[in-house]
Homo-oligomer: A and B are copies of this chain.
Amino acid sequence: MLHEHRLFPAEGAARSVAAKLYETVKDLPIISPHGHTDPQWFAENKPFPNPTALFLQPDHYIFRMLYSQGIPLESLGVPQGGAKGDPAAAGQVDPREAWRIFAKNYFLFRGTPTRIWLDYAFSTLFGLTERLGPGNADEYYEIIAAKLNTPEFLPRALFDRFKIEVLATTDAAVDDLKWHQQIKDSGWGGRVLPTFRPDAVIDAEYLGFQENIQKLGEIAGEDVATYKGYLNALRKRRAFFKSMGATATDHGHLTALTADLSETDASNLYARIYSGKTQPGDVELFQAQMLTEMAGMSVEDGLTMQLHPGSVRNHNLKVYEKFGRDKGADIPSPTEYVRSLRPLLSKYGNEPNFTMILFTLDETTYSRELAPLAGHYPCLRLGPSWWFHDSPEGMMRFREQATETAGFYNTVGFNDDTRAFLSIPARHDVARRVDSAFLGRLVAEHRLDEDEAFELIQDLTVNLVRKAYRL
């Protein structure tokens, strides 16, 4: 099922150079500076419940594709976390039945990265080397279910087996990080770090925003009725996250808009946000202002800042109402960076102690905006091809479109960005293969010396990520 030369160029010198390069990085540790795994797994170290709960129900990459072909999410036992959902419904679905639906429709994933990741996990972890399909659905289920109950498949054992050097989670600004504390206290050597993600206390349209900032104030012991208190509360939370090992912040905004308001204007804006008496544009402007404030705090405390704009969240209202957030209905839209980032970059773009990593879902910005920006501003680095573009073709387009202007050294290696724990080694493996393939082609076309390619594949796999995230 897994050919040793998969994802390399199909022929000749490019293929053989790629294979040699990959050989030198395939066994390197995994550095995962940005993702969405659950720290509770590693704190409690309990077995994963069953194949369906592990692979299918939490992975919107999988069930969105099944849904797009008319398969009801209810039949898969996708948790109904929305306002109109039935929390008990998922539990009423026989996980084995859901798995059969999945297996029967496994052909839908042909040509997708999901297929590559799943085949990798099935094969390397469970020894399943016959392609999943309706005929072997039950066999798959039983083999996986059995293994999940063995000590080798507990979260920490897998973490070690995957050779994860460091794994960053994503955590709300008001999170008490108790699972992270429990991991620390446990004496286990795995390095699981939090990441400071304040969207829920910055985006005034976020569900529960008003409660969130109240909670922020309480936790931090600051009066969030004033802008100053609010900023102080954030500053304290950042310090707390940093004390718990965090090296980065993460910001998911609808656009890349930034602003640099006067103190008075910013205070007044916050007063309107705080009171809920906003004027048109206030919500977006406040997010814009806060990106610049967050950049300023990064200059102070050295946390690397990540910005992920461009996703229209919860596009399908009916799915959102029943199933809640993160159900595969987040759709990218055109994203502008050049004018949007100017206020922030004018203020902090030349600061030596500041690193800001930009991601995009709009590939047209690679060559037009992102590479030229990162190829100039000292603070900027480009995140890897992200989300829908975390795929062989997507990664290759990123390298082809960004490298000539930004070079390799304004990029930061790979992010898996996943909540699917078992897909982590597969995702990093794909990235290492595609980078090897890209470098192999450059060498075969005599655009890069071979000794440089060997150095670069190390940099792309471990060195750049360590540096950018200060790990």
Contact = CB atoms under 8 A, between A and B. Distances in A.
Interface of A: 2-3, 5-14, 64-65, 67-70, 107-113, 116, 131, 312, 315-319, 328-334, 336, 338-339, 342, 345-346, 349-350, 352, 361-364, 367-369, 371-378, 380, 388-389, 391-394, 400-401, 403-410, 441-442, 444-449, 452, 455-456
Contact of A9 (B8, B109, B445): B445
Given A407-B65, A445-B7, A319 B373 contact: no
Contacts of A345: 315-316
A287 to B, nearest CB: 18
Contact of A404 (B5, B333, B394, B442): B394
A353 to B, nearest CB: 10
A389 B403 CA distance: 11
Contacts of A69: 378, 409-410
A235 to B, nearest CB: 25
Contacts of A378: 67-70
A349 B10 contact: no
Contacts of A2: 446
B444 A10 contact: yes
A3 B368 contact: no
A109 B376 contact: no
Contact of A338 (B10, B11, B315): B315
Nearest to A111: B403
A367 B377 contact: no
Q: Which 3 A-B pairs have the closest CB atoms?
A: A3-B446, A6-B446, A10-B444
A369 B333 CA distance: 6
B367 A389 contact: yes
Contact of A110 (B107, B339, B452): B452
Nearest to A410: B68
Nearest to A366: B363
Nearest to A403: B111
A168 B266 CA distance: 51
Nearest to A352: B70
A368 B333 contact: yes
Contacts of A116: 447
A51 to B, nearest CB: 22
Contacts of A330: 372
A331 B340 CA distance: 12
Given A68-B410, A112-B405, A349-B316, A333 B336 contact: yes
Given A109-B407, A407-B109, A331 B10 contact: no
Given A67-B378, A68-B374, A319-B350, 18 more contacts: A6-B447, A10-B441, A10-B445, A70-B378, A111-B403, A112-B403, A131-B449, A312-B339, A315-B342, A316-B349, A318-B349, A328-B375, A330-B372, A331-B373, A333-B369, A362-B368, A367-B394, A393-B401
Contacts of A441: 10
29 contacts: A7-B445, A8-B445, A10-B11, A10-B444, A64-B375, A65-B375, A67-B376, A68-B376, A68-B410, A107-B452, A107-B455, A109-B407, A110-B448, A111-B447, A315-B373, A316-B376, A317-B346, A318-B346, A318-B349, A331-B369, A332-B338, A334-B364, A363-B367, A363-B368, A364-B364, A367-B394, A372-B388, A388-B405, A392-B447
Contacts of A331: 338, 369, 372-373, 376
Contact of A350 (B110, B318, B372, B374): B318
Given A13-B11, A447-B392, A110 B408 contact: yes
A108 B371 CA distance: 14
Contacts of A364: 334, 362-364, 368
